Structure 1
Amino acid sequence: MFSIAEFTSFLGWCVVINAAVLLFSTLGLYLGKNVIVRIHSRAFDLDAQQLRQLYMQYIAYFKLLTLLFFFAPYVALKIMGY
């Protein structure tokens, strides 16, 4: 069983890892968008506009879930002194 301090540390590392994944995903989609769009449009039979919209939704949802489930509890526990 985790202590509250260990859980706070765990959440902190989750925030760091998720932020890194978000950063690399965003950079990958920004820098390699033509290659990624070409691969995904062939694989899933979608046009470029639909794919770009799906990429932005992915980034937005991932960021929202990271903030909601990892960052907010981490900050709350830090404010409480853990």
Structure 2
Amino acid sequence: MDSAAYKKREIQKQEEMKSLSAEAKRKGIEEKEEEARESAERQAAEREREPARAKRRHFLLTDLGKDLMLHMLQVSAAVI
């Protein structure tokens, strides 16, 4: 009798461990999916911001180019 009850408890423990393991795997998969989704959202937002950054860089470089040309003209005028 004790032997049958012991075996039954062992089987229940094993089934419980299997269900806990399956639940942990499921949670791990869900977490990975959530991380992948968040990463994709961040990348999409980054791609949306990139044209604005490129435009700012273009204007910044244009302003620097204008300043450089003005400086070169002033230097050449001073030399002449």
Higher relative contact order (CA 8 A, sep 6+): 1
Structure 2-normalised TM-score? 0.40
What TM-score does the superposition give when structure 1 sets the normalisation length?
Answer: 0.39
Q: Which has the larger radius of gyration?
A: 2
